[in-house]
Amino acid sequence: MNEIFRDGLLDGQVAIVTGGGSGIGRVTAIELASLGAHVVVFGRREEPLTETCALVPSGRCEAVVCDIREEDEVDAAVDGVLARHGRIDLLVNNAGGQFLTPAELITPKGFRTVIRLNLEGTWLMTHAVATKAMIPGGGGKVVSITMTPHTGLPGMTHSSASRAGIESLMKTLSIEWARFDIRLNAIAPGIVGTDTFLTKYPSQFVEGAAETVPLQRLGTPEQIAWMVCQLASPAGDYTTGSVITIDGARDNHIGAWPPERELGPDGKPAQEVRRPRGR
Ligand SMILES: CCCCCCCCCCC/C=C/C(=O)SCCNC(=O)CCNC(=O)[C@H](O)C(C)(C)COP(=O)(O)OP(=O)(O)OC[C@H]1O[C@@H](n2cnc3c(N)ncnc32)[C@H](O)[C@@H]1OP(=O)(O)O
Ligand SMILES: NC(=O)C1=CN([C@@H]2O[C@H](COP(=O)(O)OP(=O)(O)OC[C@H]3O[C@@H](n4cnc5c(N)ncnc54)[C@H](OP(=O)(O)O)[C@@H]3O)[C@@H](O)[C@H]2O)C=CC1
């Protein structure tokens, strides 16, 4: 039974979720499977992937160890899914990440590491799934997880560049591969309170995070997963080439409104005094 969508909504679909062993990827795998999809979770470590599958009561989940940066591993893993299931309807490019550090301290190797993971890994997965399964099979859907604010991610220059690249990939391929009925979109979350977010970053960054969101709270993995489910369902059939932002309005404005410095003397939002006409 799913909290939001009707039972059996995704019956018969085969989905790959990269980074399905934790956080957003794990919850997405669980939600997709609860709607009837057979989900294959990809990641570098077997244990968390197996744990995800253990959380899927229907058993419609399978763990595949695959480093999305390695072309040969991606090819073999996608071939395996196709051999076992004969189709791939949905690819969720969720695996990704970065380290937080000022741009001037990022080494060439560090920059390359993040670009390889986020941008090249997404490309390798998307290309392999499209050419092996979706083009021959008459279509499919790809959803890639990116990040806001789209105005730039200070302290995460490498990730910022890679996420813009992924969104551009999804938009461009939505035009090129429309002729194969492949629909590609990006979901751009703001800050989601996953275990990794809460434990990986410096405490002052994590503790101050909710304050930077107009809604004054972090998102949940479910809120991202439900949008993936919607796109995978018939409700998403005409959505392609879009970037769907889910970030409590952080993309539009950094911080709650009104900020303290803009409060009037009465503690209310500052308001200009209307001038007489003609002045
Ligand atoms: C007003 C405020 C505005 C703020 C705007 C920004 C808001 C952003 C909100 C943030 C919300 C986002 C959250 C998330 O994404 S949470 C999920 C994150 N999950 C992950 O990051 C998981 C995946 N990540 C990783 O696997 C690793 O972090 C990594 C991407 C680095 C890849 O790991 P890998 O094992 O492949 O790489 P290595 O550890 O071997 O490192 C390779 C080289 O990379 C450089 N490096 C790595 N870590 C650091 C570091 N901490 N500092 C500096 N450099 C680093 C380095 O060159 C490594 O090579 P060397 O080991 O030889 O030095
Ligand atoms: N949490 C947040 O606030 C936000 C997160 N995002 C993005 O959403 C996605 C999920 O985030 P979240 O759940 O928080 O993060 P997690 O760190 O929990 O998830 C990242 C997953 O990616 C897998 N992964 C990492 N590198 C590779 C690789 N080379 N090949 C295959 N799998 C890999 C990891 O498993 P393993 O280590 O076993 O390979 C892990 O399961 C990421 O792309 C993240 O950057 C975007 C906006 C906000």
Q: What is the mean pLDDT of residues 87-97?
A: 98
Q: What is the pLDDT of residues 195-229, one digit of tens each?
A: 999 999 999 989 999 999 999 999 999 999 999 99
At residue 269, the pLDDT reads 82
Q: State whether the Cα torsion 68-69-73-76 is positive or negative.
A: positive
- CATH number of the domain that residue 250 is part of: 3.40.50.720
- 253 pLDDT more than 90: no
Pocket test for ligand 2, best of 17, 24, 148 (most atoms within 8 A of CB): 24
Q: What's at 123, amino acid-wise?
A: W
Q: What is the pLDDT of residues 63-82, one digit of tens each?
A: 999 999 999 999 999 999 99
The answer to whether residue 270 sits within a structural domain is no
The answer to whether residue 269 sits within a structural domain is no
Percent of the residues in the chain that have a pLDDT greater than 90, as a whole number: 88
Pocket test for ligand 2, best of 30, 118, 145, 201 (most atoms within 8 A of CB): 145
At residue 214, the pLDDT reads 93
At residue 278, the pLDDT reads 74
The CA 43 to ligand 2 mean position distance, Å, reads: 9
Residue 257 neighbours by CB under 8 Å, 6+ apart: 214, 269
Cβ atoms 132, 81 nearer than 8 A: no
- CA-CA distance, 143 to 227, in Å (whole number)? 10
Q: What is the pLDDT of residues 17-44, one digit of tens each?
A: 999 999 999 999 999 999 999 999 999 9
Mean residue pLDDT of the chain comes to 96
Name all residues whose Cβ lies below 6 A of ligand 2.
Answer: 18-19, 21-25, 42-45, 48, 67-69, 94-97, 117, 121, 145, 147, 189, 191-192, 194, 196-197
State which residues form the domain around 178.
14-262
- 189-to-95, 120, 207, 218 alpha-carbon distances in Å: 14, 20, 18, 10
At residue 254, the pLDDT reads 73
Pocket test for ligand 1, best of 28, 73, 98 (most atoms within 8 A of CB): 98
Name all residues whose Cβ lies below 6 A of ligand 1.
Answer: 97-99, 101, 107, 109-110, 113-114, 117, 147, 153-156, 191, 196-197, 200, 212, 254
Pocket test for ligand 2, best of 125, 196, 206 (most atoms within 8 A of CB): 196
The CA 96 to ligand 2 mean position distance, Å, reads: 4
The answer to whether residue 279 sits within a structural domain is no
The CA 140 to ligand 1 mean position distance, Å, reads: 31
Instruction: State which ligand 2 atom lies nearest to the alpha carbon of 148.
Output: 47
The answer to whether residue 277 sits within a structural domain is no
The answer to whether residue 27 sits within a structural domain is yes
- 45 pLDDT more than 70: yes
Cβ atoms 116, 69 nearer than 8 A: yes
| Confidence at 108, pLDDT banded by 50, 70, 90 | very high
- CA-CA distance, 53 to 44, in Å (whole number)? 15
The answer to whether residue 231 sits within a structural domain is yes
Closest ligand to C-alpha of residue 119 is 2
Percent of the residues in the chain that have a pLDDT greater than 70, as a whole number: 100
- 186-to-5, 115, 120, 137 alpha-carbon distances in Å: 21, 17, 16, 22
Of all protein residues, the one whose alpha carbon is nearest to atom 42 of ligand 2 is 96
Q: What is the mean pLDDT of residues 134-159?
A: 97
Q: What is the pTM of this model?
A: 0.96
At residue 258, the pLDDT reads 81
The answer to whether residue 113 sits within a structural domain is yes
- How large is the angle between the packed helices 121-129 and 157-176, nearest 10 degrees? 20
Instruction: Indicate the number of domains in the chain.
Output: 1
The answer to whether residue 46 sits within a structural domain is yes
- CA-CA distance, 50 to 208, in Å (whole number)? 34
| Confidence at 279, pLDDT banded by 50, 70, 90 | low
Q: What is the pLDDT of residues 165-203, one digit of tens each?
A: 999 999 999 999 999 999 999 999 999 999 999 999 999
